[in-house]
Chains A and B, each alone.
Chain A
């Protein structure tokens, strides 16, 4: 029987922690602080009616941020809706996240090697396989990494993607954040497997289980998977065991289904606390540094909000702009009809 131990770096002994350069540790921490502040702020904006539904990643900052830091900017990311943290690290400004939440953009995307965020669960996993394969065919030394949740492992596309990747030996990483819940459904109702990582076994690919609230462990797990992929050793499924401390989205009320004790137990495992404590103990982070980081985060976020809110009201016909390079006559007619209707007096 294979066992699926939880790889952990941060803890009383902090084993292996020196493999990550201090500068990277600090940068990861700073981005985690930023993501936490951003999510908290955006939840407030939603309550004020300034943005629509928003899926925060509170509690998952280590998994989001450290995983993306282990990638090169040339690598591809195939994200889902909760991955604005990873996208931020990859180069997508938070402003774009706010525009999405304001209903002014259909996904979170940017001028980086990332697909637009995918809302239909797990449907983007086969795309990651294709991206990885294309990169390899073109002789690029890059990987593709798909982000998804525990619930995603139940969809057919998850299994098809892992199987494809295994057969093709594609340089792809399946980064699964097991945050305990798929909206109101706990993992034990999602699968009878003891772990999610073990699902790799059936597809003949590598499977790794990592403490997802341990930023250094996540970083190293992704780094190792990336190196394996680039060396031609094939794909890896990483299960990052973490916890969604907040609601599924701002439209969700987790008190309906989630035991309070479970939440409290995970609050003490807050990834920010754990990395912060480690950095402080190592003398890498002073209280003044902490405060400076927080102040910087607030400034960045306020700037992003200002920029997003300063965008003018949408141009009604802009929605016609991107579907085709050669819009068919019917679509051009529809756009003209809308324009005409908008110009007429309200009847």
Chain B
């Protein structure tokens, strides 16, 4: 087993999917010769040619709309949106069609496609290159939404996503692309869509996180362990459908919870997690559930991002306050 980062894990999985299944096609902006702006599709154009790895015109509605048609028509498209902040012209296709065609056609038609979307901040990028817009997607019936935070999960979730007959939004935390390496098995395996991952077991409080917030939560848990506090870190890794039972089980064990996400607070997925806790573990709660999130602002210019993004300071504070009573 080799130690690889998330970019390599996704790249190798895409290569294997293209090699194993002639129905698989990749489409997106700059994914061909350039290998994608993050190099996730590096080498695939050279290996599989322009009809399987397609540089598209600059049109997100076109990319997602065409992918929908391809999926209905018998292909297995994997579309790339260059940055989540540029998904918006294509949202219409996701909301109006990708999520609805199965339902609308009384399950006569399915849309087995994956839309890969790099997202999130902390990379000193210009405006609109750091958005976390997962809430729009989670709020879209018919769409599944996954977010790996490790190279292992990236590979397994991508295989699982492609095996679905539903459209799947596959969110890739930009900050984690090259942050850590880990051993990833060479063979194919699936990480099922749905179940959360207990990233660290604990007894006193559950922190719910996804994407780049998972390593942050783990760092805080480490710090608190030194103080004798046992924090459970949950990597939700599927945001839709949420693992309702897994969320309930963790909080029934710990009795306390904090949710952390990069996206703005209002209407964020954190609110859905808190509601789920209310529904599944209310009588076990010893304190109100706290949220640590981005502020209700457009993601700021990068001189401010250290203040905008949840960090150890804010997360530790929330955890300590939640542990207090």
Q: A: which residues have CB within 8 A of B? A: 52-53, 81, 100, 102-107, 119-123, 151-152, 154-157, 182-185, 189-191, 251-252, 256-257, 313-314, 316, 318-320, 323, 328, 330-331, 334-335, 337-338, 341-342, 344, 346-347
Task: Judge whether B58 and A105 touch: CB under 8 Å.
Answer: no
Q: How far is the CA of A172 from the CA of B266 in the complex (A)?
A: 38
Task: Judge whether A184 and B59 touch: CB under 8 Å.
Answer: no
> Which of B29, B85, B303, B312 is the one whose CB lies under 8 Å from A102?
B303
Chain B residues positioned under 8 Å from A318 (CB to CB): 304
> Which of A100, A157, A334, A346 is the one whose CB lies under 8 Å from B89?
A157
Q: Separation in Å of the A312 CB from the closest CB of chain B?
A: 11
Chain A residues positioned under 8 Å from B35 (CB to CB): 256
> Which of A106, A123, A184 is the one whose CB lies under 8 Å from B32?
A184
Contact A184:B34 (CB < 8 A) given known A189-B55, A341-B314, A341-B317:
yes
For the complex of A and B, the 3 pairs showing the least CB-CB separation, nearest first, are A103-B302, A184-B34, A154-B57
In the complex, B307 has a CB within 8 A of chain A: yes
In the complex, B208 has a CB within 8 A of chain A: no
Contact A103:B301 (CB < 8 A) given known A52-B126, A123-B89, A344-B313:
yes
Q: How far is the CA of A184 from the CA of B37 in the complex (A)?
A: 9
Q: B: which residues have CB within 8 A of A? A: 29-30, 32-35, 37, 55, 57-62, 85-86, 88-89, 124-129, 223, 265-266, 295-298, 300-305, 307-308, 312-314, 316-317, 320
Chain B residues positioned under 8 Å from A328 (CB to CB): 296
Q: How far is the CA of A123 from the CA of B313 in the complex (A)?
A: 37
Task: Judge whether B29 and A185 touch: CB under 8 Å.
Answer: yes
Chain B residues positioned under 8 Å from A191 (CB to CB): 57
Task: Judge whether A319 and B317 touch: CB under 8 Å.
Answer: no
Task: Judge whether A120 and B89 touch: CB under 8 Å.
Answer: yes
Contact A257:B61 (CB < 8 A) given known A102-B303, A314-B304, A331-B296:
no
Chain A residues positioned under 8 Å from B57 (CB to CB): 151, 154, 185, 189-191
Task: Judge whether A103 and B124 touch: CB under 8 Å.
Answer: yes
Task: Judge whether B313 and A119 touch: CB under 8 Å.
Answer: no
Q: How far is the CA of A102 from the CA of B126 in the complex (A)?
A: 9
Contact A347:B89 (CB < 8 A) given known A105-B301, A319-B307:
no
Contact A183:B34 (CB < 8 A) given known A107-B127, A319-B297, A334-B295:
yes
Task: Judge whether A323 and B298 touch: CB under 8 Å.
Answer: yes
Interface of A, helix, strand, loop or mixed by DSSP: loop
Task: Judge whether A185 and B307 touch: CB under 8 Å.
Answer: no
Task: Judge whether A184 and B313 touch: CB under 8 Å.
Answer: no
> Which of A53, A122, A331 is the one whose CB lies under 8 Å from B125?
A53
Chain A residues positioned under 8 Å from B61 (CB to CB): 155-156
Task: Judge whether A104 and B303 touch: CB under 8 Å.
Answer: yes
Q: How far is the CA of A256 from the CA of B33 in the complex (A)?
A: 7
Task: Judge whether A155 and B295 touch: CB under 8 Å.
Answer: no
Task: Judge whether B266 and A338 touch: CB under 8 Å.
Answer: no
> Which of B59, B298, B308, B313 is the one whose CB lies under 8 Å from A154?
B59
> Which of A104, A190, A320 is the one whose CB lies under 8 Å from B301?
A104
Q: How far is the CA of A192 from the CA of B4 in the complex (A)?
A: 40
Q: How far is the CA of A6 from the CA of B129 in the complex (A)?
A: 36
Q: How far is the CA of A331 from the CA of B124 in the complex (A)?
A: 24
Task: Judge whether A52 and B124 touch: CB under 8 Å.
Answer: yes
Task: Judge whether B301 and A346 touch: CB under 8 Å.
Answer: no
Chain B residues positioned under 8 Å from A81 (CB to CB): 126
Task: Judge whether B59 and A155 touch: CB under 8 Å.
Answer: yes
Contact A346:B313 (CB < 8 A) given known A106-B298, A190-B58:
yes
> Which of B89, B124, B129, B296 is the one whose CB lies under 8 Å from A156?
B89
Task: Judge whether A347 and B316 touch: CB under 8 Å.
Answer: yes
Other CB < 8 Å A-B pairs besides A256-B33, A314-B304, A319-B300, 13 of them?
A103-B126, A103-B301, A157-B89, A184-B34, A185-B57, A257-B33, A257-B34, A319-B307, A328-B296, A330-B265, A334-B296, A337-B314, A338-B295
Chain B residues positioned under 8 Å from A331 (CB to CB): 295-297
Q: Separation in Å of the B167 CB from the closest CB of chain A?
A: 20
Chain B residues positioned under 8 Å from A155 (CB to CB): 58-61, 89
Task: Judge whether A184 and B58 touch: CB under 8 Å.
Answer: no
Q: How far is the CA of A280 from the CA of B163 in the complex (A)?
A: 67
Q: Separation in Å of the B96 CB from the closest CB of chain A?
A: 13
Q: Separation in Å of the A336 CB from the closest CB of chain B?
A: 11
Chain A residues positioned under 8 Å from B33 (CB to CB): 184, 256-257
Q: How far is the CA of A27 from the CA of B4 in the complex (A)?
A: 55
Contact A347:B312 (CB < 8 A) given known A120-B88, A152-B58, A156-B59:
yes
